[in-house]
Structure 1
Amino acid sequence: MSTERMPNPAVLIPEAMEALMALNKAVAGAGVDGKLLALSHLRTSQINGCGPCVAGGVHQAQQHGATADQVHAVAAWRETPWFSDEERAALALTEAVTRLADRPDAVPDQVWDLAAKHFDQKELAALLLNIAITNAFNRLNVSTRQQAGKW
């Protein structure tokens, strides 16, 4: 196991952490179900290999009512019966936005249109901001080798 390179940069610059936490608070208050936001956070963090955020995402999802099946199978959500159509649309958008460089049309119309069928513009904004902030935390944690369980 590799060792931490430095503390999380947002911890070293408290104003940055305050800004990130304010963004999280705004997203949480925008009307999107907390379980859905947590599942999106968890899936993003799995894709990016961010141990602290995966661990935190599992805890957060459970706090918001995600079942054990959902938490354990979110990486394979397409192949399971445990996710609603709304959750599936959010997870598809989550994967596309997190993997922008994986295809020429990063967020295909099919993915966007399905999400827009389930979420209004404010909810889509919250979901996109949730994905973006999770990717930001993932990049800070992974590049500095933050370890899960060191809170």
Structure 2
Amino acid sequence: MIIEPRIQNPASLLPDAVKAINLLYKAAHSAGVPDSTLELVHLRASQINGCSACVDAGARGARKAGETEERLYAVAVWRETPYFTEAERAALALAEAATRLADRADAVSDDVWAEAARHFDEKELAAIVLWVATTNFFNRINAATRQPAPQTWG
């Protein structure tokens, strides 16, 4: 089944939004967190939210950042695979907790935060949190307006 968008992507309808989105992207990617880690975080949050457009973009971005197919296939089950570093695992756990806010009273537990803080300094933590929030922003826009993943068949 092909999903038809309800409207064009809101960012294309409101050009000032593109400026703000670009600033968020630049800020999150300027703190020293490896691009591949940010791409994994984006992909995992998008998987949780069921955003096909962002899962597609996240996988493509991760490949551009040097990710292997093996690791990309395993993002959804990162806890059960040996493919991710401790820092990446901490970032993925933080991304999951910050995406699933309603799942528990203390959405981002002290344990999740402390583990992330073991691997990332304050500026890097800020970038990860900003990138997770931005990803969730994209996911919600795409879900509300039914933005599909691009059709790229051969």
TM above 0.5, yes or no, is: yes
Matches within 5 A, 1:6-21: 6-21=7-22
- The C-alpha deviation readout for 1:125-148, integer Å capped at 9, x for no partner, is 000000000000000011100010
- The C-alpha deviation readout for 1:74-102, integer Å capped at 9, x for no partner, is 00000000000000000000000000000
- The C-alpha deviation readout for 1:103-138, integer Å capped at 9, x for no partner, is 111001110000000000000000000000000000
Gaps of 5+ in 1: none
Find the counterpart in structure 2 of residue 101 from structure 1: 102
Aligned partner of residue 149 in structure 1, secondary structure:
coil
Give TM-score scaled by structure 2 length: 0.95
Identity %: 56
**How far did 1:150 drift?**
5.7
Distance in 2, matches of 1:107 and 1:130, equals 15
Distance in 2, matches of 1:25 and 1:49, equals 25
Q: Does 1:135 align with 2:136?
A: yes
Q: Which runs of 4+ in 1 moved over 6 A?
A: none
**How far did 1:33 drift?**
0.2
Give TM-score scaled by structure 1 length: 0.97
Distance in 1, matches of 2:124 and 2:58, equals 20
Distance in 2, matches of 1:29 and 1:150, equals 31
Gaps of 5+ in 2: none
Find the counterpart in structure 1 of residue 54 from structure 2: 53
Distance in 1, matches of 2:40 and 2:83, equals 12
Matches within 5 A, 1:1-151: 1=1, 2-149=3-150
Distance in 2, matches of 1:12 and 1:30, equals 30
